[in-house]
Amino acid sequence: MGDPGLRRLALGTLLAAYPGPVPPDWAVDLVAEGLAGHTLFGTNVHDPAQLAASTAALRTARPDVLVAIDEEGGDVTRLAHATGSPYPGNAALGVVDDTALTRRIYAAIGGELAAVGVTVDLAPTVDVNTADENPVIGTRSFGADPGRVAAHTAAAVAGLQSVGVAACAKHFPGHGATVADSHHELPTVDADTALLRARDLPPFAAAVDAGVQAVMTAHIRVPALTGDGPATFSRAVLVDLLRGELGFTGTVITDALEMKGAAVAAGGVGPAAVRALAAGADLLCVGARVDAALVERVVAEIVGAIGDGRLDRARVEQAAGRVAALAAWTRAACPPRPLPAGADRTPGSGPPGIGYRAARRAVRVEGELPRGERPLVVQVYAAATIAEGRVPWGLGPHLSRVEQVRVVAAKADPAALRRLAAGRPIVLVGRHLHRLPGGPALVGSLAATHALTVLEMGWPGRWRPSGVRAFVTTYGASHANGRAAAEVLGLTD
């Protein structure tokens, strides 16, 4: 490829990924050649022993390789993607509003990550979820109040980094006011800088004050700052605002460049990498669908941009230097260690730990719960976002001597459900029921003639169904949230 020094320099700004539970040779070889590291996804995770072996294999190529993962607890989990997380997510922690608990939860998550060789947690999500219809943040947020979100952000950062795992506050300058998903399109936050400073920036300022090692960019358009492009490509956001105004000195990591909010705006992953580096990003998360050929194309684009003047070599050297500093921090702070005592391991494999107790504290009940006869549980199908992935949720694993059926809201027959229930009350379980096609109509029809409890395991916002006996909210759909709801409803042994 020409200058091998330039190739190694470009590789030092990239966070790749690989398929399957065992790192293929190319993934390990690229680390030896200078690749900053890899992001792990659910497809890379089978069990703790396997994952620890995988990360050890990466470290044989270079001891300071960055191993990152999206382990937020709650609805976004990679370690427990097969069962659901044994920890509640941010929305539940925000409702409990105990910052000491938030710190303990994140320290427990960080302890599990450290034990398997993960060095960077792409968490916490610190967006202020002010849009009830937000399709991608929702329960990943600590709430809609900037002050509360800021306080829990600081606690989460402190918890993760207390056990030697670098935290990454995301998604700068704030994805909470969007009503579109940047995995699929470029959302717009139509706010002036005064509103951003009052509403969206306080949690990021709190993260910086807490010493957060990394901040992740958002593929969102903020016309007042970014014009027509995403924040990931904006020096006004990444340099003037994040570094100049907030004083951040750590590593700026991009959200996945394969996401349409970035790739479409730039004309591909390679051009997106060049634009992000030029704007001030340091570590470029390529995405989940990565192979050696894609990495080489991105490297070639960066090297070519240095050659033709689109990128200043000094800027790329600065980015690679910040990535190296992050790697040095993780190597010093996060030596491999055994799983910490008391950490939640496989959900359901032992006595409920801190995550289950926290989830129980987050459950809220409005109205009167059914008592006595076991109800019919009706779980309503809800599609997962790309960020969440396909992770089991609901009451199913926790039910004892209770009949459950699954329906699609728009296709469900309320009369048939009433006949199936006979004289039993119905518990209708859903995520974002008010947003599902046919969801509100199904609730209304059942509530009109039947004793109905609605269990909302998504972001409830201001929606409250009329005519129901009880409305129960868990503020998340993790394994811990499901167990907590089943206990509150009296449906476990």
Q: Which residues are catalytic?
A: 183, 255
Note the residue count of the chain.
493
Neighbours of 32 (CB within 10 A): 12
Distance CA 56, CA 199 (A): 42
274 within 8 A of 305, measured Cβ to Cβ: yes
Q: In degrees, to the nearest 5, what angle opens at C-alpha 247 toward C-alphas 243 and 253? A: 45
DSSP code string of 261-275: HHHHHHTSHHHHHHH
Residues 6+ apart with CB under 8 A from 5: none
Q: In degrees, to the nearest 5, what angle opens at C-alpha 472 toward C-alphas 479 and 462? A: 110
Neighbours of 100 (CB within 10 A): 9
Q: Which residues pair with 427 in a beta bridge?
A: 377, 453
Q: How far is CA 417 from the centre of its chain?
A: 35
Distance CA 238, CA 280 (A): 6
Distance CA 297, CA 288 (A): 16
Radius of gyration over alpha carbons of the chain, in Å?
23
> Token match 């699954």: residue?
406
Distance CA 300, CA 316 (A): 14
Specify the pairing of strand 470-473 against strand 364-367: antiparallel
Distance CA 307, CA 311 (A): 8
* Burial readout 279-305 (b: 16 or more C-beta within 10 A, e: otherwise): bbbbbbbbbbebeeebbbebbebbbbb
Helix (H, G, I), strand (E, B) or coil at 455: strand
Distance CA 165, CA 159 (A): 9
138 within 8 A of 459, measured Cβ to Cβ: yes
Element (H, E) at 37: strand 37-40
For the chain, give the longest Cα–Cα distance.
77
Element (H, E) at 346: none
Distance CA 93, CA 326 (A): 28
